[in-house]
Amino acid sequence: MSNRPNAPPAHTLGPKALALDGREVDLLHYIHNRPDIKQLRGNPQKVIAAIDDYHSEFNILMNVGAVKGAFVTDLIAERKPSVMIELGGYVGYSAILFGDAIRANGGKQFLSIEKNPEVAAVANQLVDLAGLRDTVRILVGPSDEVLRELVRDRKEITQVEMIFIDHWQKLYRPDLWLLEELDVLIPGTSVLLADNVIMPGAPEYLEWVQATTGQKRELVKKLDVGSLTPNPNLVYETTVSEFDTTFGKDGVAVTRVMGEQSA
Ligand SMILES: C[S@@+](CC[C@H](N)C(=O)[O-])C[C@H]1O[C@@H](n2cnc3c(N)ncnc32)[C@H](O)[C@@H]1O
C-alpha cells in the first residue's frame, strides 16, 4: 500500500499483474487530479469512463468492464429489480454502473458486499462522487456473514430479485447454498448472475445451477456442504453468455429460479 507523501505522485505506479498493491488508492488520486473532476461530480457515466481510462492507461483493475457491464444493465432494464445485491464490490465500478441502472429503472437500492475494507473505502468515495449515495450501499465484510446479517438478523432482505456474484469463484457455490438455506430464492422472481464462469471459471457453481433437481439430490449426498443446508429442490434454468474481453473469452451465467420440485 502506498505510503504518501513518500510514495510516487498520483497515477505513476508501474503496471503490475496483481490488484491490491496500492493501485486502488492510486485510482482515487488519479480521478481527483483530473482536470475534468468537476464534471465527474454527480455523473455516474463520467466516473465509469474515468475508471476505464485509468484501467487502460495505467494499471489493470478487476472491474466487470464495459461489455459484460452493458449485458447486465440490459438485464436490469428488462427485470427492473427494486433491490439488487452484489458479492464482491472492489473499487465500485459495477456498483456505480448497476446502481445507476437500478435508479434509472425505478429501483431503490444496490447493496454491494465487499470483504476488503480498503477497496470498500475507495468504492464509497467513488459512489459519493458519482452522486449515488442514496441508491448504493457498500457493506463491508465477508459475503456469507453479511448475507446472514441482512436476511436473518436485520430482516432487510426477504427475497433476492437480482444478484451479481463476482467475488471469488470458489465461493460462488457455497454462497448460493447459503441463499438456498436462507430461503430467499423465489421461483418466478429471483435471477442470479455469475461473472467469470469461463475465465478463471466456476465449474462447481455451473455444475450445481445446470443440474436437475434429481442430480442435485444425489450431489448433496456426495459433496462436503459443511454446515450449510442446500436446497436441491429448486429448479434452475441457466444460460451462459460468452464475451470477448480484454483478457480473453469469458462468460456470465444467468440463472432463473423457475420452481421447486421435491422427490
Ligand atoms: C472481481 S472483484 C469485483 C469487481 C466488481 N464487481 C466490479 O465489477 O467492479 C472481486 C472482489 O471480491 C472481493 N471478495 C473476495 N472474497 C470476498 C468475500 N468472501 N466476500 C466479499 N467480497 C469478497 C475482493 O476483495 C474483490 O474486491
Per residue in 155-167, pLDDT tens?
A: 999 999 999 999 9
Mutation choice for ligand 1 from 20, 25, 100, 166, CB with most ligand atoms inside 8 A: 166
Residue with cell 432463473: 256
pLDDT tens profile 123-157: 999 999 999 999 999 999 999 999 999 999 999 99
Q: What does the alpha-carbon distance between residue 243 and residue 5 come to, in Å, rounded to a whole number? A: 41
Could you identify the atom of ligand 1 that is nearest to the CA of residue 92? 9
Q: What does the alpha-carbon distance between residue 153 and residue 73 come to, in Å, rounded to a whole number? A: 30
| Cα 40 to ligand 1 centre (Å) | 24
Query: What integer pLDDT is reported at residue 19 of this predicted model?
Result: 67
| Cβ atoms of 249 and 238 closer than 8 Å | no
Residue 12 has pLDDT above 90, yes or no: no
| Cα 167 to ligand 1 centre (Å) | 4
Q: Strand ranges (DSSP E) for 83-125?
A: 83-87, 109-114
Residue 6 has pLDDT above 70, yes or no: no
Residue 17 has pLDDT above 70, yes or no: no
User: What predicted TM-score, i.e. pTM, was given to this entire model?
Assistant: 0.94
pLDDT tens profile 219-241: 999 999 999 999 999 999 999 99
Tell me the residue length of the chain.
Answer: 263
